[in-house]
Structure 1
Amino acid sequence: MKDYQQVKERTISGLIWSFIDLLASQGIQFVVLLILARILAPEHFGLIGMVAIVIAVSNSIIDSGFSQALIREKEVSRAEYSTIFYFNILMSSLLYTALYVAAPYISAFFNESQLMIMIRFLSFGIVVNSFAIIPRVLLIKKLQFRTQSLITMTSSTLAGIFSVYLAAKGYGVWSLVVQALMTQALQTIFLWTVTKWLPVWSFKIAFFRRLFRFGSKLLLSGLIDTFYQNIYSLLIGRLYPAAMLGYYTNAAKLTDVIANSTTAALQRVTYPVLSGFQDDALQLRNMYERLIRLAAYIMFPLMIGFLTVAESFIPLLLGEQWIHSIGYFKLLCLAAMIYPLHALNLNILQVKGRADLFLKLEIIKKSLLTLLIGASLLFSLGIYGLITAAVLCSYLSLFINTYYSAREISYSVQEQLKDLIPSFFLALLMGGFVLLVGMLLPELYFIRILVQGLSGVIFYFTMSRVLKLFEFEILYSELMRIFNGRKEKLMKAKGA
């Protein structure tokens, strides 16, 4: 049996490094976004948003669920990795060809002539991305998130600097196109350099079929999820002017910087860790319980905090021309609060090998979202109605995910909700406190955000300590352990 304490420490340490990785990379992209938002027009971001769904769906097809399947496998040979590598290259080449041919028709659908050449350039990133999948899987299986952090930060920084230069020179939307392609290309080069992995000339048909049985269901689930994650770009881009999509796109990007950093960090660290306990039901349940409580403890106050300062946050960072994004941002924060909980619940299904159930749930949840979107369009509720449909679906879907994952690990819906309530109500209290503080402050964006933010953090952690919340104790002890470990290393280095 694995040493539970050791795995727990590695998991929390991995979470911290993974969070630093994603926060740093998202932070760099965030800074670049702030600069570009003041140089480019909302229409430019709207044009990129129109293309997003095509590229995102294509990247899901390339991966085909094989990344998760490979991570779940305990032992994978070089020949088996090579099998998936060659399949990814083949699929990406076919998809690039299909998108190249379809570009004029997609451009006509959105009634934007310049989309054709944009799609043909951006879709080449699909081929580039296919080369990075196996090296990235290798690092994830080894929990080497610090290495990934450096790769992501370096790639994002270099691409961001160049895109700002192009925007300043008047290249408009093409600065965003180059940024996306350059980021993917640099990440791929760095991943291959670090892992030093090379394929062999082998294609294991039996291994491919076995992984495809598991991965194909994740592929369909991923395609459905990716399509619906980008459906708002499709609908808003088709029904409204490009500027309106630009307002929504940047509101969504700001939310993603905050929410996806946490969600992706939790998902990519916890999946390989939970997979290690797939044959030990008790340890799996215990680890999952701690992780879901930790996720709620971090995410609830984060999103509520940003929601409460949105009136100052958006115009300060993006400029007054983006005030139309404020309402969209607030609604998206409500939906994003529970993203990590969705991710952890779905990780359990993958760990238990229930790819069939994973697919079933995606169909159920997306059918629900389709009905809600349909109702919004039927009653002409506009963009706010569309986003509200997503918020409602997110919360209803959590109950669906929780119900099915609970059956796999004997951790009932009632037990899960009971464990989440302390963090939820404490986050609400913090949000109310931050709003009260804001009412006493002058109408200066920077001062309001600074004072409200600091007061919210102090309030939340002080109350956590007073109430002796389990989640706070875990985070505090682990951060102290890492800090003291670094301190000891520095002292030894100085002594040497």
Structure 2
Amino acid sequence: MEPKKLKGKIISGIIWSSIELLISRVFAFAIKLVLAKLLFPEQYGLVGMAIVFTSFVQVFNDIGIGAALIQRKDSSLRDVHYDTAFWTGVVWAIAMYLIIFFIVAPLAAAFYNEPQIRDIVRILSLGVLCSPVNLVHKAQLSKKMNFKKLALIENTSSIVAGILAVALAFMGFGVWALVFNTLAPLVIAIPLYFKATKWQPKLQWERQAFKDVFGFGIYTTGTNFLTVLMSSIDYLLIGKLVSASALGVYTLAFMLTDTFRNQLTKMINKVMYPVYGQNQHDPGILQRMYFKVVKYNSIALYPVMTFLIVLGEPFILGFFGAKWVESVLPLKILAFSVMIHLLVNSHAVLLRGLGKPKIEMRMQFIKSTLYVPTIMLGVYWYGIVGAALAYVLNKVLEVAIAQYYLKKYLNVTLIDLFTAVSPPLVASLFAAAISFLLENSGVHYLINVIALVSSYGLIIWFMMKAELIGQVKGVLKLTKKKTVNP
């Protein structure tokens, strides 16, 4: 693809993914915050316990087939690849759900000694049956970089599900409102995907087509399993060794920090993954793209994490109430971990786009061998605060491991990464200092928030004025071109 056309595709994809983020992701995130305000830590904790078990099984749901379809070039895909992927996913999902229903759900209830978890796991896991139905459609839209349709589908399903979930919470359905909010978007999206792609699966399956996509997907699945292991072990241990209430408190802190980071960066990753695949043989282009991804992810997230570190306590007490006060300290620690993580954010997607899923899995395996024991010790010694501290340690280790592979395959050094994030880092330190002084001077909370955001924005503008103006002109030029030539 020509550079200008590729840039247009990237900008268009980011615009529509941003719209999806603002409407779907932000709306869904806001719904979770409203549910947290209406419900109690214990109820959040029960769902968190259930998700730990379902996530381990769900990671095998599409066995990496969706990622393989996106990564492969169009010239190497035939219609039978898509049909094989669809029917393989459906059959596999049915087998996975039977395992969850008869084995995983009772095991989860017995592990936590919470009988209600059995039914929660079984209902939550209905999403396992929905995901493979959407798998090929999502891959086709992503491969064509048709993020407009993807955004419309995600927005519609999230908004409808969120409104209904809040209504259920007001009606007193408690934990089931959270369960519904997790499951419903997948169900609502099914007819929307069929309508968007006009693709209908044919009743055909080919062994060679299966090998083509499964050979790539098996490594992606292994990577996803290790990722889920690392992201769930703290939930598992807190729920077992501490309490459901503690897990609910930790879940809120995690949702406001690392989950928020993941939702935002997922938007960029969704756009960049097919782009990395299309340019996998041009290291120079990939390096420049990756630096921009790291920089702009950090610009967007650093002020949020700075706000949570400096003003997290009045925010939690003011919005959620005193019942969530124990989340304040882990919230601040986890916010700091996110700022560390952003140094190498999206590196796994880059390696996958390079066609190196085996290396990505190896990297995740190394991280998991370090992550699991440190989280176990942290939870055992200091509960949710210990888990948060262990998370910071592991983010430092993750930066070191990721930088090694970035250096090996793209010649990216640690100095390069710090240079990329230097504008948001300097702006965050400056904004934090001002906010801290105002906080200790007794200035009103809202004035402090305005000062933090304003000072951060001014420093970013001072350090990146020319670049930001250039980016805005590029977007406006693309928008004008699309208006003239629809």
Q: Whole-Å Cα distance in 2 between the matches of residues 157 and 61 of structure 1?
A: 28
**Secondary structure in structure 1 of the residue aligned to 2:137:** helix
Matched residue count: 482
Q: 1:263 to 1:120 in 2, by over 3 A?
A: same
The code of the aligned residue for 2:84 comes to T
1:257 and 1:26 mapped to 2: Cα distance? 11
**Cα 1:317/1:153, change in 2 over 3 Å:** farther
* TM-score normalised by the chain length of structure 1: 0.90
Equivalent residues of 1:251, 1:329 under 8 A apart: yes
Q: What is the aligned partner in structure 1 of residue 108 from structure 2?
A: 106
- Following superposition of structure 1 onto structure 2, how do residues 78-477 of structure 1 map, counting pairs within 5 Å? 78-102=79-103, 103-256=105-258, 258-377=260-379, 380-442=381-443, 448=445, 450-467=446-463, 469=464, 473-477=466-470
Shift of 1:387: 1.4
Distance 1:7 1:38 in 2: 44
Letter matched to residue 276 of structure 1: Q
How far off its partner does 1:283 sit?
2.1
User: Does the C-alpha gap of structure 1 residues 329 and 24 become closer, same or farther in structure 2, counting only changes over 3 Å?
Assistant: farther
Rounded to whole Å, the distance in 1 between the matches of 2:53 and 2:415 is: 39
1:318 & 1:26 partners in 2: Cα distance? 20
Measure the CA separation in 2 of the matches of 1:178 and 1:399. Answer: 39
Find the aligned partners of 2:295 and 2:481 in 1 and give their Cα distance. 31
* CA deviation after TM superposition for structure 1 residue 301, in Å: 2.9
- Conserved in 2, the CA contact under 8 Å of 1:259 and 1:337? no
Per the TM alignment, residue 417 of structure 1 is displaced from its structure 2 partner at its CA by 3.0
Q: Structure 1, residues 140-194: CA drift from partner, whole Å, max 9, x if none? A: 1122223222222221121111112222222111111222221210122222221
Query: Alignment partner of 2:60: what SS?
Result: helix
| Cα distance in 2 for residues equivalent to 1:197 and 1:262 | 29
- 1:268-305 Cα offsets, whole Å, 9 max, x none, are 11111121111222222222233223333333333223
Deviation track 1:464-489 (CA, whole Å, cap 9, x = no partner) reads: 2323x2xx544443335445766898
Do the aligned partners of 2:280 and 2:354 also contact (CA within 8 Å) in 1? yes
How many Å apart are 1:256 and its aligned residue? 4.7
Shift, 1:254, TM fit: 2.1
Cα distance in 2 for partners of 1:487, 1:123 equals 45
Q: Distance in 2 between matches of 1:475 and 1:188?
A: 39
Q: Secondary structure at the match of 2:346?
A: helix
Task: Provide the residue aligned with 2:20 in structure 1.
Answer: 21
Map residues 41-80 of structure 1 onto 2, 5 A cutoff: 41-75=40-74, 76-80=77-81
Cα distance between partner residues in 2 of 1:452 and 1:181: 38
Q: Which ranges of structure 2 fall in alignment gaps of 5 or more residues?
A: none
Would you say the 8 A contact 1:83–1:203 is kept in 2? Answer: yes
- Name the SS of the counterpart of 2:151 in structure 1: helix
In the aligned structure 2, how far is the partner of 1:473 from the partner of 1:320? Answer: 45
Query: Would the alpha carbon gap of residues 81 and 489 (structure 1) be closer, same or farther in structure 2, given more than 3 Å must change?
Result: closer
Cα displacement (A) at 1:61: 0.5
Counterpart AA for 1:223: F
Give yes or no for contact 1:40–1:172 (8 Å, CA) kept in 2: yes
Q: Structure 2 counterpart of 1:181, which letter?
A: L
More displaced 10-residue stretch of structure 1: 35-44 or 332-341 = 332-341
| 8 Å Cα contact 2:427/2:457 also seen in 1 | no
| Contact preservation (8 Å) 1:13, 1:478 | no
Superposed CA RMSD in Å reads 2.3
Separation in structure 1 between the aligned mates of residue 48 and residue 345 of structure 2, nearest angstrom? 24
